Amino acid sequence: MRVLAVDDELPALEDLVRLLEASPAVDRVESAASAEEALVALGDGAAIDAVFLDVRMPGLGGLELARVLRRFEQPPAVVFVSAFDDAAVDAFELAAVDYLRKPVSRRRLDEAIERASRRTPAGETATLEDETLAVDVLRGGGTRLLARSSVLYLQAHGDYVRVASTEGRYLVRARLSDLEERWAAHGFVRVHRGFVVNLRRAVEVRPRLNGTAVLVMADGGEVPIARRQVGELRRKLGV
C-alpha cells in the first residue's frame, strides 16, 4: 500500500510515519503538515491508497479534507487519527474505514491498515455494501468504526446497544429499533425483544423444552429466540 500521513504537529507526524513505515503491508509513506499540502501531494499524480489524517488542523481540517477526497473519481481510504473522540460520528458519516486515538498503538494501526487494504478501488461502492458503525471501545476507552458485516448480533442495553462482533464487544449510543430498521435489508432480524441478529452469521437453531430456542452464531455464542419467532426463523434459515 501507498499511504499519506497528514498532521500539523511535527512530532505526531514523525511518529505516525515511523509506525506506518514499519508495517510490512505499506510500500511507501508520504507525509504532509497540513490539509493543503496533502491536496498538493494527492494532485501530483501520486497513487495513494490510504490517507491517515488528523482531525483538528489549522485552516482546512481533517473532516473538510475527507469531504474533498470523497469527490475524487477513485478516493483513497481514509483513517482519522485524533486525540479526541468528538469527531467519530462525522467520521462514520464520511465513510472512514477507521478512527484511531492518539497515541496510536501498533495493534490498532495494523487493524486500520488491514481495513484500508480491503477497500476496493471503487471506494464508495464498497462503503454502500459494508456500512460502518461508530462504537465505543469497552476496554481502554476510545471509538472505532466497526464493519456491519462483522456484527453477529445487537442487544438492547439501557440507553445503549451492545454490539457483538467477530472483532470484539462494543457499545453504541442508539436504539435497537433504529438499527433494526436501518439494517433489515442486510439480513438483520429481530428474534427477541432485546436482540437483533445477523442471520448471515447464524449457523444453527437449537430448540428448548419450553417451545423457545436459541440461535447459535458463528463464534459459538447463543442468542435467545422468542417462541413466536422460532418457526419463522427455521423457515428463513432452511432448517
CB atoms within 10 A of CB 168: 14
50-97, pLDDT tens digit by residue?
Answer: 999 999 999 899 999 998 888 887 889 999 999 887 777 777 777 788
Cell of 36: 493543503
| pTM summary value | 0.57
Q: Taking Cα atoms as reference points, which of 183, 156, 184 lies closest to residue 171?
A: 156
Query: Does residue 180 contact residue 196 with C-beta atoms inside 8 Å?
Result: yes
Higher pLDDT, 15 or 92: 15
Of all residues in the chain, the percent with pLDDT exceeding 70 is 90
Looking at every residue in the chain, the average pLDDT score rounds to 85
pLDDT at 235: 72
Distance CA(114)–CA(224), nearest Å, equals 33
CB atoms within 10 A of CB 221: 13
22-48, pLDDT tens digit by residue?
Answer: 999 999 999 999 999 999 888 865 689
pLDDT at 127: 43
Cell of 124: 464508495
Structural domains in the chain plus CATH codes: 2-129 (3.40.50.2300), 147-237 (2.40.50.1020)
